[in-house]
Amino acid sequence: EDRNLILAFESSCDETSVAVIENGNKILSNIVATQIKSHKRFGGVVPEVASRHHIEQVTYCIDDALCEANVDYDDLDAVAVTYGPGLVGSLLVGVTAAKTVAYAHDLPLVPVNHMAGHIYAARFAGELHFPALALLVSGGHTELVYLSGPYDFKIIGETRDDACGEAYDKVGRVLGLTYPAGKQIDEMAHKGHDTFHFPRAMEKEDNFDFSFSGLKSAFINTVHHADQIGEKLDENDLAASFQQSVVDVLAEKTVRCLKEFPVKQLILAGGVAANQGLRTRLDEELQAFDDVELIKAPLRLCGDNAAMIGAAGYEAYLAGIRGGLDLNADPSLEF
Ligand code: KG4
Ligand code: ZN
């Protein structure tokens, strides 16, 4: 058989995930054990709690992934694993599990950058063509990444303070929403209108960077001020105004980037790529670019999962990237 099978691990934050990926583009299994319930009452991810859950879940996830894919260790060609960026204690569980499997079954170990994984979630929506530009929006990152080839990443712009998803989660907290708040705000936004006109930081500045902390503060101040004077604000309008500001800035900067760096595809990926307002807006914006195809990570693969690590891992495997048994977690890993 000439099919390539990769066993992939993801444990950078609050999902323990193991997947079996065939030829870099077919999901045979993608087991995701989420811990969200355990973190909800704390309003965010508690690193110590997260590592503990990963340890408890990871072996079951491996068994389930192999079983569902109907694959045995002997059938595998490589083991791919997220080794950063993320929470160090969480990353270490995946890295240790992957190293153990690779050593025990004499398989090559392929280290994968979590953000490269997010980009490669789009591989399940169609073939990738280069050069490409990726708008990467997650709970920890907001970046415009230029890909001259399949495994060649260059950051062109990034947030100078909060990540986009982080801003969603923080304003959600002020509205009394549970963590993570992105999806809930997205849904509320569709029932409201941009009546507050929050700032659009750096929108007109001649660079490709972002800033979301000013927007977050404007939102929080508006809510607190209304509380003090006993005024009741429309929460759907608040959500819609916040989202409009985020989407305007992301869209404007991305369009400017596309004009300066001609590419074949625009890839939308990361947890916030699930945002309906953003997906629709980019669809509209891309109509002005005849030669650029918009490729969006499938909705169910926008959040953290091992399938995307398997897809990126396949490209890294082909590129000859290997990790030894001394592979370590790198919490602040960059491209
Ligand atoms: O990529 P991800 O699963 O984890 C990280 O690597 O950070 O992203 C999680 C983030 C959270 O901040 C969550 O609120 C946000 O993605 N998110 C959304 C939506 N769905 C998830 N933000 C806006 N709109 C959504 N529909
Ligand atoms: Zn992520």
Residues 6+ apart with CB under 8 A from 60: 33
Minimum-distance ligand 1 atom for the alpha carbon of 187: 26
pLDDT in tens, 183-217: 999 999 999 999 999 999 988 888 999 999 999 99
pLDDT in tens, 229-273: 999 999 999 999 999 999 999 999 999 999 999 999 999 999 999
Residue nearest to atom 13 of ligand 1 (CA): 182
Average pLDDT (286-307) is: 97
> What is the distance in A from the centroid of ligand 1 to the CA of 304?
9
Six-digit token string for 261: 């760096």
Minimum-distance ligand 1 atom for the alpha carbon of 278: 24
Is 238 annotated to bind a ligand? Reply is: no
Residues with CB under 6 A from ligand 1: 13, 138-140, 165, 168-169, 180-183, 186, 270-272, 274-275, 303-304
User: What are the sequence ranges of the domains in the chain?
Assistant: 5-120+302-318, 129-296
Q: pLDDT exceeding 70 applies to what percent of the chain?
A: 100
ipTM rounded to 2 decimals: 0.99
Burial 295-325 (b: 16+ CB within 10 A, else e): bbbbeebbbbbbbbbbbbbbbbbeeebebee
> Which residues does residue 318 pair with via DSSP β-bridges, in sequence order?
none
Q: What are phi and psi of 11, to 5 degrees?
A: -150, 35
129-296 maps to CATH 3.30.420.40: yes
**Whole-number Å distance between alpha carbons of 211 and 158:** 8
Residue nearest to atom 1 of ligand 1 (CA): 271
Mutation to probe ligand 1, out of 32, 40, 138 (largest number of atoms < 8 A from CB): 138
Is 304 annotated to bind a ligand? Reply is: yes
**Whole-number Å distance between alpha carbons of 134 and 257:** 10
Is 333 annotated to bind a ligand? Reply is: no
The whole-number pLDDT of residue 46 equals 87
The whole-number pLDDT of residue 323 equals 98
| Number of CB atoms found within 10 A of residue 215's CB | 23
> What is the distance in A from the centroid of ligand 1 to the CA of 72?
33
pLDDT in tens, 15-26: 999 999 999 999
**Whole-number Å distance between alpha carbons of 153 and 138:** 17
The whole-number pLDDT of residue 272 equals 98
**Whole-number Å distance between alpha carbons of 188 and 235:** 8
Residue nearest to atom 16 of ligand 1 (CA): 271
The whole-number pLDDT of residue 51 equals 93
Nearest to 183 by CA among 88, 48, 300, 282: 300
5-120+302-318 maps to CATH 3.30.420.40: yes
> What is the distance in A from the centroid of ligand 1 to the CA of 141?
10
The whole-number pLDDT of residue 42 equals 86
Q: How confident is the model at residue 1 (pLDDT cuts 50, 70, 90)?
A: low
pLDDT in tens, 45-93: 889 998 999 999 999 999 999 999 999 999 999 999 999 999 999 999 9
> What is the distance in A from the centroid of ligand 2 to the CA of 120?
12
**Whole-number Å distance between alpha carbons of 275 and 142:** 14
Average pLDDT (294-314) is: 98
* pLDDT tops 80 at residue 35: yes
Q: 109 or 206: which carries more pLDDT confidence? A: 109
Q: Which residue has the tokens 């990738």?
A: 128
Q: How confident is the model at residue 177 (pLDDT cuts 50, 70, 90)?
A: very high
Mutation to probe ligand 1, out of 13, 183, 304 (largest number of atoms < 8 A from CB): 183
Is 194 annotated to bind a ligand? Reply is: no
Q: How confident is the model at residue 43 (pLDDT cuts 50, 70, 90)?
A: confident
265-269 and 152-158 strand pairing: unpaired
**Whole-number Å distance between alpha carbons of 55 and 195:** 47
The whole-number pLDDT of residue 246 equals 98
Radius of gyration for the chain, computed over Cα atoms and rounded to the nearest angstrom:
20
